[in-house]
Structure 1
Amino acid sequence: MPLPGIRATFIWVALGCLGLILTALYMQHMMDMHPCPLCITQRVFVILVGLVALVAALHMPAQTGRRLYASLGGLFAIIGGGVSARHVWIQNLPEDQVPACGPGLEYMFETFPIMEALALLFQGDGNCADVVWSFLGLSIPAWTLVAFAGLLAINVWQGLRRSA
C-alpha cells in the first residue's frame, strides 16, 4: 500500500535532512573539515527541520496539524537559512573586515550565560570566513542556504496543499 502523499512528503523531507547531516559528518570526519560555530548552528536547524518532518510523518496529522508541522518546519528553515546567509556574507567580506576569531564553542557555553553564548554563536567569527570547499562556485554555507530554501518551499507547499 503506497503512503499517502502528505506523509510521503514529510518522510522525504526527513530523509533529505538526514542526508544533509550525513554529508556534513562525512566532510567533518573523512575529509577532516572541522565545522565553525555557524556550521554547527546550521546543522542544528537542519536536524530540527528533519525532526519536525519525522514527527509529522509518524503522527499523520489532519489538515490543522499538517499546517502546524509545516509552519514549524518552515520557521526552522527560515532561521537556518538566515544563519546560512550570514555565513555566506561573512565569507564574502573583504579580508580587513572579517571578524576576529572568537573562543571555542565549548568555552563559550561553559563561561558565558546561555543568551550571551547564543549571541556570540550567531555572530560568527574569523573561522567562519574560511572557504574550505566549494562546488560549482558555491561554498558549503551557500549550498546549505540552497537546501534551506528548498526545505522552506516544501514546507510552504505542505502547509498550503489541500489533500494527499
Structure 2
Amino acid sequence: MLLEWMDGAPRRVLALTTATCVGLLGFGLYLQYAVGLEPCPMCIVQRYALIALAVFTALAAAGRGRGWRLAFTALGVLAAGFGAFVAARQSWLQWYPPEVATCGRDFYGMIENYPISRAIPMIFRGSGDCTAVDWRFLGGSIANWSFVCFVVIGLMLLVLLLRQARPGAGRRAAVA
C-alpha cells in the first residue's frame, strides 16, 4: 500500500520529506536556542546535510519533468547518505570516546583559520564536544536519532528513485 502511494504521488512524498527535514531543523534550533544546547562541529555538518536534503527534495517536488525529479531525488539520496555517515561517526565517538578528548575549535573557527583540506579531517576527528551526550530520547542521543532519520529518509528516497526510474513509471504516475 505504501509503495502504491509512492508510485502514485511521488511529488507528495518528496514534499512530505521536505517538510520532515524542515521540522527536524526546527527541532535542532529549538534544542539550541530554547534548551541551550550548543551544537558541536559534527552537529553543524549534519544540519548542512539536512538543509541540502530539504533543498534537493523541494526541487524534486517542484520540478515538472521526470528527469528533473529523478536527478534531484538522487542528490537527496546522496545528501541523506552523507548525513547518515556523519551521524554514525558521531555516534561511534560517543560510544567509544578517545582517551584524550579535547575541546577543539568550533566549526567556523576551523573553516576560517585552516584550508579546507585540513579543516574537513579535523571536523571528522571530532572533539570533546562531539563525544558529549547532553540530551537523550528513548535511550538515544541526538546523533543516534539523526542517524535513524537520515537512514529512513535515504531509504525511502532510494525506493522512490528506483521505482520512478523503471520504464513506464512516469506514465502511471501521470495517469493517477
**Same fold? TM cut 0.5:** yes
Unaligned runs of 5+ in 1: none
* Amino acid in structure 2 at the alignment position of 1:89: W
- Rounded to whole Å, the distance in 2 between the matches of 1:61 and 1:119 is 38
- Rounded to whole Å, the distance in 1 between the matches of 2:154 and 2:38 is 27
Residue in 2 that maps onto 1:127:
129
The number of residue pairs the alignment matches comes to 159
2:16 maps to which of 12, 17, 22? 12
2:35 maps to which of 31, 34, 39? 31
* Amino acid in structure 1 at the alignment position of 2:29: L
1:45 aligns with 2:59: no
**Deviation readout 1:110-142 (Å, 9 max, x if unpaired):** 211122112212221111011001111100000
- Rounded to whole Å, the distance in 2 between the matches of 1:68 and 1:98 is 43
- Rounded to whole Å, the distance in 1 between the matches of 2:16 and 2:26 is 15
Residue in 1 that maps onto 2:69:
66
TM-score, with length taken from structure 1: 0.91
Residue in 1 that maps onto 2:5:
none
* Amino acid in structure 2 at the alignment position of 1:153: L
How far did residue 40 of structure 1 move? 0.4
1:108 maps to which of 106, 110, 118? 110
Residue in 2 that maps onto 1:86:
89
| Preserved CA contact (<8 Å) 1:17 1:49 | yes
Residues 61/124 of structure 1: CA separation in 2 closer, same or farther (3 Å cut): farther
How far did residue 57 of structure 1 move? 1.0
How far did residue 98 of structure 1 move? 5.1
Residues 136/97 of structure 1: CA separation in 2 closer, same or farther (3 Å cut): same
Identity percentage over the alignment? 34
TM-score, with length taken from structure 2: 0.85
2:35 aligned counterpart, secondary structure: coil
Q: Which has the larger radius of gyration?
A: 2
How far did residue 51 of structure 1 move? 0.4
How far did residue 61 of structure 1 move? 2.6
| Preserved CA contact (<8 Å) 1:7 1:60 | no
| Preserved CA contact (<8 Å) 1:66 1:158 | no
How far did residue 107 of structure 1 move? 1.9
1:97 aligned counterpart, secondary structure: coil
